[in-house]
Structures are given as structure tokens and as C-alpha cells.
Amino acid sequence: MRVAYNEQMTELADLLGEMAGLAGQAMERATQSLLQADLRIAEQVIGDHERITDLSAQAEERAFALLALQAPVAGDLRSVVSGIQIVADIDRMGALALHVAKIARRRHPAHALPEEVNGYFAEMGRIAVALGASAREVLETRDPERAAKLREEDEAMDDLHRHLFSVLMDREWKHGVAAAVDVTLLGRFYERFADHAVEVGRRVIFLVTGELPSDMPTPPAQHVG
């Protein structure tokens, strides 16, 4: 029974790693579609999202099967429950990349972004993709020290998000309300993508150590992502 449990946990971990990789890839392509007003890439992100959804369903099914059939306790139970929570975080990361691609598609053939904020989103996209890769890494290695560093990497995203608002509030903004709404939503999508990657790291720390980092409180539930 123990051998079967270990095999099933390995399969679940592999699924989570694959999901994280796909979410990062989706955000990378979504950013390309946004910056280049590329409809083909946006459609690719939207079409490929079903793969993340399918993997999410598979991962949840396997995790609940472990709970039902293996009756895990103590550390094993912590691993399974953390796995279920991580599935939800990565699923949201994929959905946030999907939202970015949909805005790019909706505004095509025009660019969704005014040229003056392109640099912000190019950098936010780079950080988001790096955080997605880091989340996959910590899922594969289960290294709590590496997982804790995701919060530090997220600080750059938070800084960019704050600076972006200063641009929107500037009296010199001349792109109208619709563009301001798009920029606000897009900035939020990137910020939340990064937050979910950090949360994956937080859950890995709990999975390995049994303790939640004291400086990493659970973020409040929000409908945006």
C-alpha cells in the first residue's frame, strides 16, 4: 500500500509541475500577443487553455482518490491537502494568462496598450514568467529555501504595479477611459499571477516543514484571480 501511495503522489507532483510549466508558457505567449497585437498567438493561448483545465481536473481527481483510498494521516495528509490547494493556485495562474490573451484578442487589430506603458508590461510579463518557472522548480525540488525566495522575486512585480498606477493617475494621461480600464485590469492580472506563484511556494514550505511562514499570510479571496 505504501508503494502505491508513493507512486500516486509522484504522479500528482508530476501533474502539478506540468501545470505550472504550461501556465508560465501561457503567460509568456499572452504577453507577446498583448505587446505585438498578435491575434494568432492570442488564439493559441486561448485554445491551449483547455490542456491546463484537463490537467487540473486530473490532479484533483488523483488527490481526492488518495484521500478516499489511502486514508493518509499526519505528513501524508498534509501533502495531499497541499496538493489540492496548489492545483487551485496553478489553475488560476492559467486563467489569468487566458484573461490577458482575451483582452489582446478583443482589441485586435489595435494594440490594447498605449505605447507609453509597453515597457511596464514587458517587464511584468518577464517577472511573471520567471515566477512561473520558479514555482515549477520548487514543486519539483520541494526546496523550502528556494520556495521562500519567490516572495522576494514578487516584490519587483508589486513595485511595477504601483508605478503603473502613477502613470494612470497622471494628468497627462490622454488615452481615455477604455484604455485606462484595460491597463488597470491587465496590471491586476499580472500581479495576481505572481501572487499565486508565491502562494505555491508558501504551500510547498508548509508541505515540507509543517509550518506556514509567519511573514506570508494567506491572501484574501478575490474574484479577479
The per-residue pLDDT for range 183-216, each reduced to its tens digit, is 999 999 999 999 999 999 999 999 888 887 765 5
Q: How much is the pLDDT for 225?
A: 59
Given a contact cutoff of 8 angstroms between Cβ atoms, the answer to whether 34 and 105 are in contact is no
What does the pLDDT look like over 38-73, one tens digit per residue? Answer: 999 999 999 999 999 999 999 999 888 888 877 777
| pLDDT category of residue 224 using cuts at 50, 70 and 90 | low
| pLDDT category of residue 219 using cuts at 50, 70 and 90 | very low
**Dihedral angle sign, alpha carbons of residues 103, 122, 39, 56:** negative
Assign domain 2-209 to a CATH class.
Answer: mainly alpha
CA distances from 53 to 77, 82, 176 (A): 24, 19, 35
CA distance 96 to 30: 10
CA distance 94 to 193: 8
What does the pLDDT look like over 97-134, one tens digit per residue? Answer: 999 999 999 999 999 999 999 999 999 999 999 999 99
Among the residue ranges 1-10, 38-47, 87-96, 198-207, the one predicted with the least confidence is: 1-10
Residue 84, Cα to own-chain centre: how many angstroms? 15
- The grid cell for 145 is 529555501
Q: How much is the pLDDT for 80?
A: 87
- Highest mean pLDDT among 8-22, 68-82, 105-119, 166-180 belongs to 105-119
Please give the share of the chain, as a percent, with pLDDT higher than 90. Answer: 72
Q: How much is the pLDDT for 220?
A: 42
Given a contact cutoff of 8 angstroms between Cβ atoms, the answer to whether 144 and 46 are in contact is no
Extents of the domains making up the chain: 2-209
CA distance 208 to 200: 12
Exposed, middle or buried, 182 (CB in 10 Å: 0-12/13-18/19+)? Answer: buried
CA distance 193 to 24: 9
| pLDDT category of residue 172 using cuts at 50, 70 and 90 | confident
Q: How confident is the model over 144-152, as a mean pLDDT?
A: 93
The mean pLDDT of the chain is: 90
Torsion-angle region of 72 (φ positive above 0: left; ψ -120 to 50: alpha; else: beta): beta
Percentage helix, strand, coil for the chain under 3-state DSSP, each rounded to 5: 85, 0, 15
Number of other residues whose CB lies within 10 A of the CB of residue 46 = 18
- The grid cell for 213 is 511562514
Whether 75 shows a pLDDT value over 90: the answer reads: no
Please give the share of the chain, as a percent, with pLDDT higher than 70. Answer: 93
- The grid cell for 225 is 484571480
